[in-house]
A and B are shown apart, each in its own frame.
Chain A
Amino acid sequence: DAGVTQSPTHLIKTRGQQVTLRCSPKSGHDTVSWYQQALGQGPQFIFQYYEEEERQRGNFPDRFSGHQFPNYSSELNVNALLLGDSALYLCASSFTGGAGTEAFFGQGTRLTVV
């Protein structure tokens, strides 16, 4: 089992550009969540996808959008990049089976906006 895989691992973009990050969940998982982790901070919840729908959203602007595909993989899109969007973006997958269900995290994508 490959676990949760994210691509790319590192990315450098210019202010105002758009970026797409990708995530493949752990086998058997149907739910994907995205988190933003700024340097020295804890991860902050962006949104969660289940059955190809956004099920829950954190306090992030509409510039952040996502998608989930029929095979449960997911994309995170960020438009009009700002310097403050520089962070580690983490994808977590889980199986929708209650609040105690463990979330498995990928290695993350390090986004740098210059």
Chain B
Amino acid sequence: QQQVKQSPQSLIVQKGGISIINCAYENTAFDYFPWYQQFPGKGPALLIAIRPDVSEKKEGRFTISFNKSAKQFSLHIMDSQPGDSATYFCAARMDSSYKLIFGSGTRLLVRP
């Protein structure tokens, strides 16, 4: 119930392509869904976040798509660049809680 399932575990995309990472959850009490980006040797950094009252949020090349009925959300990286190569974590949080519950992470490699 408290889990967030993330896929794929790793992803290789050509430069200019679209990277898509998916997450699913069970607990309908979750009401905040951030994506974090982590480079080697660094901490997770907030990339973009969404709440369930919208189905899509776009910031530059990064888009979150949210499907409330399916309890799924995904990160799309358009025009992927080698500099986007990092590990991406989805997460979820309930309004009644402080803790972020993280997915297992996706290691993205964008080939030049």
Q: Do A and B come from one complex?
A: no
B residues apposed to A, CB below 8 Å: none
A residues apposed to B, CB below 8 Å: none
